[in-house]
Structure 1
Amino acid sequence: MVTTPVHIAVTGTHSTGKTVLMRRAEMELRAIGLRVARVHGLGKRAAAIGLPKMQRHTAASTEWIIATGIAEELAHIADSDVILSDSAPINALAYYTAALEFRGEVSEPTTIQRLEQLVASQSPRYELLLATELDLAEPAPTTHDHDLRYRHLVDRHVHDWLFRTNWPHQLVANSDDSRDEAIALIKRRVAS
């Protein structure tokens, strides 16, 4: 049995299966008797309080999403065996830097540096980081704003950050085999 919560997160652009993957992991881990907390819906909640998202993402909305995710994860430490996050902190930063590029804007270097430091300070918390990949052959669902250029920018910013920082992660492709492998990896990590 797990004695301290195992933190697992997923990162990637929207509609690449992050939430579906974490829901499945949650169900399978609960089925073997583990107490699972899931942190999700941060972008929707940010929008509900009036913060901009997607192409209009700002430094303030980025920081709010990161800080709220951190706070929610911390709130579950005492009552969970596993904490699953549908959106690692790098996601908020990637959405922001992609939005800047999309709009042709440049942020103050100190703002980007501060946000990168916040993301880097939280990344060691995750024992396993999964990174979904954008499949351009897969038609985009109609549940989000699917400007293909923006989705591609977010995907590139996520994977550029992972490459630049050399942060350990497992790629999850848009295939049943890859998703099954990710679930098996989650189960092995939780069992270790």
Structure 2
Amino acid sequence: MTSPTLIRIGVMGAHSTGKTLLMRRMEMELRGQGIPVARTGKLGRRAALVPLPKMQHHTVASTMWIIATGIADEIAAAARLEEGLVQVVLADRACWDALAYFRATQEWHRRLAAQADRGAPHRLASAHGHTYDLLLATVLAPTLPVERRHDHDARYRALVDRHTHDLPREENIPYVRVTGDPASQELAVEHALQLCTTEAPV
């Protein structure tokens, strides 16, 4: 009997750009196809409970915590593959996401952490970041409202968006840009469905 294939899909992007909604749509569509799915997320809220700084106050420590916790969540979800309970892991905030936020924080403050510390989040993200079968990156639309729970700073949000799209290019990782346009989002969902229905036995 052929072992089931695990598919990892990650999403990254600035706050209030539709990441979670996109993941929910994918989860709903995949479950509708009978494909077992696990979705990770809520890393920002959990970091705040530790408590750790967030947004433009990110530190090396908070970034490392978010990357490591996200990776641990994905590994825990993937561990259920052999039980047949999971065939697709949807990572709401792929590990590259926290690195984009950290780089934006450094630029926002116009200062850099010590070289040795600054490299640690990148090494951790790189160790896991090439495992995604599909990486989606949402695109900032400045006219869209920001959720009230976010500490909104327009310049910081724009920096996060830029680093979100710079990182995959620098790392030579194929990714799909997803704008706020319904057609773009629909295409992203279709892309995920095609990947999962081709690779995952149903």
TM-score > 0.5, shorter chain as reference: yes
Contact 1:2–1:81 (CA under 8 A) maintained in structure 2: no
Which letter maps to 1:53? Answer: K
State the match for 1:98 in structure 2: 104
Which letter maps to 1:171? Answer: R
State the match for 2:135 in structure 1: 129
State the match for 1:107 in structure 2: 113
Which letter maps to 1:148? Answer: A
Structure 1 residue ranges without an equivalent (≥5) = none
State the match for 1:89 in structure 2: 95
How many residue pairs were aligned?
192
SS of structure 2 residue aligned to 1:135: coil
Further displaced range: 17-26 or 75-84 = 75-84
SS of structure 2 residue aligned to 1:125: coil
- The superposition leaves residues 153-185 of structure 1 with CA deviations (integer Å, 9 ceiling, x where unpaired) of 111111111222221001101110000000000
Q: How does 1:24-63 map to 2 (within 5 A)?
A: 24-63=25-64
Which letter maps to 1:71? Answer: A
Contact 2:15–2:146 (CA under 8 A) maintained in structure 1: no
Distance 2:120 2:50 in 1: 23
Q: Which residue among 126, 144, 163 is the counterpart of 1:138?
A: 144
Distance 1:167 1:111 in 2: 24
Contact 1:7–1:84 (CA under 8 A) maintained in structure 2: yes
State the match for 2:180 in structure 1: 174
Which letter maps to 1:33? Answer: G
Distance 1:49 1:143 in 2: 17
Distance 1:59 1:103 in 2: 14
Distance 2:108 2:176 in 1: 27
Distance 1:40 1:7 in 2: 14
How far the C-alpha of 1:135 sits from its partner, in A, is 1.0
Q: Which residue among 125, 147, 157 is the counterpart of 2:153?
A: 147
Structure 2 residue ranges without an equivalent (≥5) = 81-85
Contact 1:135–1:174 (CA under 8 A) maintained in structure 2: yes
Distance 2:67 2:21 in 1: 21
- The superposition leaves residues 119-146 of structure 1 with CA deviations (integer Å, 9 ceiling, x where unpaired) of 1111121000001110123233434222
Sequence identity percentage: 45
SS of structure 1 residue aligned to 2:130: helix
Contact 1:2–1:191 (CA under 8 A) maintained in structure 2: no
State the match for 1:13 in structure 2: 14
Contact 2:58–2:102 (CA under 8 A) maintained in structure 1: yes
